[in-house]
Structure 1
Amino acid sequence: MNPVFERFRLLASLAMHDLWHDRKVSMCIAAALVAVIAPLLLLFGLKFGVVSQLQSELLNDPRNLEIRMISSGRYDAEWLEQLRSQPEVGFAIGMTRSLNTQADLVQDSRHFVDNAEIIPTAEGDPLLASLSLSQPLEGLDVVLSESAARRLNVEVGDQLSLFVSRRLNSRAERGRQSVVVKGVLPAENFPRPAAFVALPLLISLEDFRDGYRIDAFGITTGKVRGEVGEELAENARGEKETQFARARLYAADTDQVGKLEQWLNAQHIDTSSRLADIENVNAINHVLGLVFGVIASTALVGCLASMLGAFLANIDRKRKDLAVLRLLGFDRPAVAGYIVLQASTLTLIAYGVGLILYKLGSEVFNQALAMSSTTGSVVCRITFLHGVIALLLALLVALVVAVVGMLRAFSIEPAESLREL
């Protein structure tokens, strides 16, 4: 058998037998570690649970990524492309004037929605991400908000009529276009009655109200913009020819909301967003991280001092035994391994007990918090990675203690065992 392995096995056996022989002292050292590990795991679990819950709520609600352009302007396709090229932008699409983002939706005489919001959408729209549409909306496809679908009494695949009104040459006109429901957006994503449509349809609504002839709406009066065909896509101006009043804009993530607002404000564009809510969550994360860091540092220093004192006292108490080992041929590396094995074993035992106590404590916290309406789904939890990091930190403390113990043990000479004879 490998002599190195045999030497290590003998060393490990001596170290474990020594710990068991002095099990009362070993238990005291391990208990000191448990008293630090278990509360720190619980404290970090609560901190991580609270912050991750708040961050999850921010990320799961795409409205937190939205930046609203308050004032209207005239923005062309070149400016819109410049906006989309910004690394902070997750989604951007042009919007027509506010008056032209409304229309009547009608299923029958009893089911209709007056002045519903007509919102342009395209591939990558954060609000529609939960629907998992097979393909982006185009032509006469629409996605209704839950409140609009409920009032219209329609489901996916149903047809309904979109009506748009204007006054041309002192005469009231009302255009009509049939559209197909491709999806229904949950109320938590958009609570108001609305229809999400492809951009060309929204541009057609604006053109119609501006007095242009849009054959697809069943109205043959109005100014002609170039050659007008029968299809809606041909009637609508292209995006490159449109001057938009504003943009419907979403940041790539919560960290980019502030930067994107600054970019827009630098162009004298007034904006509004939920940046204050995002900053509140970041502030909570910072404060809880600071509190945990101070408590953890204090606890680790206290644990280090306690273990250090116990180990040094134990080494002084066993000076004769260590001297005998040196006399029997155990060199300094062997003595160092002996001490490291003991410190690591006690740390692993303490960590295991601390993990069990954390599990029990977290179950108590989770049940108590679940019963409270103010805390709701906040949970005390740590991930596997957090557990590994905590173990490595505990072993690092044990290594520091073992190093100091080694320096004390190295000063013990083999001759000390002979003086006791």
Structure 2
Amino acid sequence: MPDSSPREKASPLVIMSERRVGIIGGFLSAIGPLAMSLYTPAMPDIVTAFGTTESAVKLTLTAYFGGFCFAQLICGPLSDGYGRKPITILFMSVYLAASVLALLAPTIEIMVLARLLQGVGAAVGVTMSRAIVRDLFTSDKSARVMNLIGIVLSVGPAIGPTLGGLTLEFFGWHAIFMVMILQGIVVITIMLLFVQETGNPDPSRIRPKTLIKSYFSLLKTPHFLLASLVLTGATGALYTSATIMPFILMSRVGLSPSQFGMGMLLQTAFYISGGIIYRLMMHRLSVFQMSCIGLLCTCSASILLAVMLRIYEPSYLRVMLPMGLYVMGIAFLTPQMTTAAMAPFPQIAGSASALMGFFQMGGGLVGGILSASMGDPVIAMSTLLPLMGLLSLISYIMWNRFKLPLSQTIEHPVTPKISEQR
């Protein structure tokens, strides 16, 4: 039953259950990865359709990462100032309009612009999902909801390449953007009908001086900064691999678009398995032990990629098995590091979520740019992903030194804690 104390009754929050927040949060978080994974199978065909080069088409993905990365720094603080719900609807409207522009794009230059705007709109999903969780939950409940979000989120990248590959094979690349248009309409509908406002809007928080002060306070806190860098290395590697794998598995290994899409299910199976194992073990192992399992997976995968892709010719299993192990590690690291990093900042949860997302997508953006400059996708994958795994490991070792006492990461001085819900 919800706490019925006078302080909670006076709160503007309308309480949502863990399950509801987890499912809706997972759906919001999946917007960005789904828009990326739907698109990647079509990249070789778009090269031909526009009579352009692989580098130019990779630029559409880089533009998407750039828009996604920097827009988080805007939508997060705006949600602190004006509320989670209206800002989500606003940015998803941008995503919807950009999807229409991509569908009608006559040139590769317009496609780059459309993908940039898609990234801007999609940025709101992952930012808002984390901020809503921080508005309502702390400690174990937050980690449990973030784990549920991760499991729901994994469905997006799971069905994305498969749906994209099948759509491409049977209906052509234009139809992929029709799917994205439908996605935008569904998300806006969900926000209007099923999501309650969870924030405590205060326009004074988005004054330039206040906003700069908020970001500076986050950046100068080692506890937050190092936790964000742990996830930058882990998830940045995942985003970087998305720009590389289509060209390895389709152009080098020889998979068709539909085979590529179906083949990506193996990676998702590893992620879902990691999320389920995490959920079963979270009350039996310590935070340190859970994080060590995640780091063991990402570091082992990094070594396998660095060795196998440089010694042997790439094959489906030589690429996908290490990547599966990598994403299993991410399933262990994300709930722990996200909860720990954001817990001390309830008043600026949107800004904290935005800056954390900026670091993660920034890792993907830098990785995508470097992979394009390296030319050979196999060399890029066997170099960049191990380096990102190393960044994650070093950042965690340093974070473990600077982490806050448990009491400082659990107490919630402003918003009410949520007890058992339906």
Do the two structures share a fold, i.e. TM-score over 0.5?
no
Greater percentage in strand: 1
Q: Give the TM-score normalised by the residue count of structure 1.
A: 0.19
Hey, which of these two has a bigger chunk of helix by percent? Answer: 2
Question: Computing the radius of gyration over CA atoms, which structure comes out larger, 1 or 2?
Answer: 1
